[in-house]
Amino acid sequence: MIETTLATGIAYLLGSVSGSLLLGRLRRVDIRTMGSGNAGGTNALRSVGFFFALGVVIIDIGKGALAVGWVPVLVGADRPITPLLCGFAAVFGHCYPVWHGFRGGKGAATLIGTVLVIQPWLLLPMLGAWVLTLLLTGYVGLATVISGFALVPGALWLGGPWALVAYCAVVAMFMAFTHRSNFRNLAAGTEHRFEKVRVARWFSRAGRR
């Protein structure tokens, strides 16, 4: 139990290392003061650029993977539930980082890193739901939340243990919570939409020709 608690704490501290804020210090920018104010990959892309956002995503995915695959081994925590607790701790740390005044991102990239190690097959329903929702609506935030909930039926279909199904359900609800501002913007009609990827836009353009 002590090893699991220690591993969870280290995973939280690792998750608190924000890719956007770490790279932002090198560029002398704080993306929390730019765009949507979120310290995540999407805002990094909109506010700074592709290569900056790519570095952010690599760091955020990597720390999620390390939290699950490396931290339990580091402290000798061999309980089956330990990687799952570490995974959630890393996602929570990304959203509420102790190193950055508890103002972080929304956790999607770090969640992907945890899933990559815990059960990589779950990335398929997650990615499929994200792409389909994005193509139909153009809303990245909505696509991210729906992709999170796609983990649950995916885990059930794979016959995963109850702990894995519970992990998927908890992180899906947490993703919905961290994206609550996106839902408010959707209700107000102010949510940013990527029109270029929306299928409906393609058909409407084709119909005008």
Q: Is 95 exposed, middle or buried (0-12, 13-18, 19+ CB in 10 A)?
A: buried
Q: What is the CA radius of gyration of the chain?
A: 18
Tokens of 149: 């909930």
pTM of the full structure: 0.88
Q: Could you say which DSSP state residue 208 is in?
A: H
pLDDT in tens, the chain (209 residues): 889 999 999 999 999 998 888 888 887 877 788 877 777 777 777 778 888 889 989 999 999 999 999 999 998 888 889 999 999 999 999 999 998 889 888 999 999 999 999 999 999 999 999 999 999 999 999 999 999 999 999 999 988 799 999 999 999 999 999 999 999 999 999 988 877 777 756 555 544 55
Tokens 């058909």 locate to: 203
Give helix then strand counts, H and E, for the chain: 13, 0
User: How many whole angstroms separate alpha carbon 139 and alpha carbon 146?
Assistant: 11
Q: What is the pLDDT of residue 122?
A: 96
User: How many whole angstroms separate alpha carbon 62 and alpha carbon 48?
Assistant: 21
User: How many whole angstroms separate alpha carbon 181 and alpha carbon 145?
Assistant: 12
Tokens 């994200």 locate to: 130
Residues 6 or more apart from 87 whose CB is under 8 A from it? 11, 64, 67, 68, 111, 114, 115, 117, 118, 167, 171
Nearest CA among 66, 48, 49, 60 for reference residue 18 = 60
**What is the per-residue DSSP string for 29-98?**
--GGGSTT---SHHHHHHHT-HHHHHHHHHHHHHHHHHHHHTHHHHHT---TTHHHHHHHHHHHHHHS-G
Residue 165's Cβ-side half-sphere holds a number of Cα atoms within 13 Å equal to 9
User: How many whole angstroms separate alpha carbon 105 and alpha carbon 16?
Assistant: 10
